[in-house]
């Protein structure tokens, strides 16, 4: 075992795996676990086939166009959720709890295809990046086995942390959850789409943290703003009816 | 006939997924992506454009939704 390659691969893969697990847990808690896990499983199968077929040639995969497409799709969907989440919290408050209301009114009783697509895209994009990390570190040091073990350890550790955290996430009132998951999907979408266009982010991957904080803060500000518009309008209507 | 229904359902799925109930936000994002590409080509820092457009577009869309709800 080449421990230097193992640790490097583990740390580099962890950044990507955290993003992957965050999307799977968010989609599972807010939409459908069945769709989210099926999407993640489908993406892992596609990845396994890609790795078997292409092997070390994966190093040459152009990541920028993939980031742009996946990022733009996540951004379009995430911004819709963010907007709906803000509006519902402003209209009805944060108080509604687990099981009292479906988060997404459009989730059909059958299989949740949007949830499947979100999870599939998140896992396949991040999975390709992990595969590229493994191939890059492994091929450079002639230690593909150690690099693969490092990435696999990262998936196990972060996956277990994700499974533990979902119980905490599931305690958040559902309207608030939709707002914050919308902010999170919008954050990933903004970051990836911009990276696909060769934008350099201040702080590199750390930009995900401040961008997420920025969208969450903007969402909370917009909740107050929309509540204010509604109160103003009610006061005007009340005055007109007297 | 069944194939045609599948195609329509497939297209409807992607329209809902990408555009939803307010096409202006999706259009603003598309324009912001184009603008970001233009700034990158001109070697101007472009990281600020997309977040700005998303937040401003969401605020405008919420303003319209609130107004529409009041009827």
User: Chain B partners of A92 at a C-beta cutoff of 8 Å?
Assistant: none
* Average pLDDT score, chain B: 88
Residues 6 or more apart whose Cβ sits within 8 Å of residue A73: A117, A121, A189, B17, B18
CB-facing half-sphere around the CA of A172: CA atoms within 13 A: 15
User: Does B59 contact A225 at a Cβ distance shorter than 8 Å?
Assistant: yes
Report the residue from A202, A207, A222 with minimal CB separation from B59. A222
Element at A148 (helix H, strand E):
helix A144-170
Distance CA A128, CA A66 (A): 10
- In this predicted model, what pLDDT tens digit does every residue of A68-81 receive, in sequence order? 988 898 898 889 88
- In this predicted model, what pLDDT tens digit does every residue of A23-43 receive, in sequence order? 888 888 888 889 999 999 998
For residue A231, what pLDDT band results from cuts at 50, 70 and 90? confident
For residue A52, what pLDDT band results from cuts at 50, 70 and 90? confident
- In this predicted model, what pLDDT tens digit does every residue of A94-145 receive, in sequence order? 765 444 444 555 555 678 888 898 899 888 888 887 887 777 667 666 677 7
Asked if A214 reaches chain B (Cβ–Cβ under 8 Å), the answer is yes
> Does residue A242 have a pLDDT over 70?
no
Asked if B14 reaches chain A (Cβ–Cβ under 8 Å), the answer is no
Residue of A nearest to B55 (CA): A218
- pLDDT given at position B2: 77
**Chain A contact probe: residue of B14, B51, B53, B61 with most A CBs at under 10 A:** B51
Count chain A–chain B contacts defined by CB atoms under 8 A: 88
Q: Give the phi and the psi of residue B47 in degrees, each rounded to 5.
A: -65, -25
**C-alpha distance from residue A185 to each of A17, A201, A204, A219 (Å):** 15, 17, 18, 13
Asked if B60 reaches chain A (Cβ–Cβ under 8 Å), the answer is no
- pLDDT given at position A114: 85
- pLDDT given at position A99: 46
* B32 min Cα distance to partner chain A (Å): 10
List the structure tokens of A50: 């890609």
Report the residue from B33, B57, B66 with minimal CB separation from A193. B33
* Average pLDDT score, chain A: 81
Asked if A86 reaches chain B (Cβ–Cβ under 8 Å), the answer is yes
Report the residue from B22, B25, B47 with minimal CB separation from A200. B47
Asked if A209 reaches chain B (Cβ–Cβ under 8 Å), the answer is no
ipTM of the complex: 0.90
Chain-centre distance of CA A206, in angstroms? 15
- pLDDT given at position A71: 86
- pLDDT given at position A182: 85
For residue A224, what pLDDT band results from cuts at 50, 70 and 90? very high
> Does residue B59 have a pLDDT over 90?
yes
- pLDDT given at position A98: 44
């Amino acid at each position: 075992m080449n421990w230097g390659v193992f640790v490097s691969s583990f740390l580099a893969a962890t950044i990507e795996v955290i993003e992957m697990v965050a999307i799977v847990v968010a989609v599972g808690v807010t939409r459908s676990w069945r769709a989210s896990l099926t999407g993640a499983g489908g993406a892992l199968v596609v990845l396994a086939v890609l790795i078997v077929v292409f092997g070390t040639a994966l190093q040459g995969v152009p990541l920028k166009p993939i980031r742009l497409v996946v990022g733009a799709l996540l951004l379009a969907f995430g911004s819709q959720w963010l907007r709906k989440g803000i509006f519902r919290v402003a209209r009805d408050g944060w108080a509604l709890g687990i099981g009292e209301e479906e988060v997404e009114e459009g989730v059909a009783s059958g299989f949740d295809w949007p949830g499947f697509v979100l999870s599939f895209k998140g896992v396949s994009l991040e999975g390709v990046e992990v595969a590229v990390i493994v191939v890059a570190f492994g091929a450079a040091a002639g230690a593909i086995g150690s690099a693969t073990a490092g990435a696999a350890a990262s998936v196990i550790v972060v996956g277990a942390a994700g499974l533990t955290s979902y119980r905490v996430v599931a305690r958040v009132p559902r309207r608030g959850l939709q707002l914050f998951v919308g902010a999170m999907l919008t954050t990933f979408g903004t970051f990836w789409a911009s990276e696909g266009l060769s934008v350099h982010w201040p702080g590199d991957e750390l930009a995900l943290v401040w961008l997420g904080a920025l969208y969450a803060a903007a969402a909370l500000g917009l909740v107050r703003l929309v509540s204010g518009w509604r109160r103003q309008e009610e006061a005007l209507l009340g005055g007109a009816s007297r | 006939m069944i194939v045609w229904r599948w195609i329509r359902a497939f297209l409807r799925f992607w329209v809902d997924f990408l555009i939803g109930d307010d096409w202006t936000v999706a259009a603003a994002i598309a324009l912001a992506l184009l603008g970001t590409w233009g700034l990158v080509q001109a070697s101007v820092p472009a990281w600020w454009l997309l977040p700005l457009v998303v937040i401003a577009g969401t605020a405008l869309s919420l303003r319209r939704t609130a107004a529409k709800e009041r009827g």
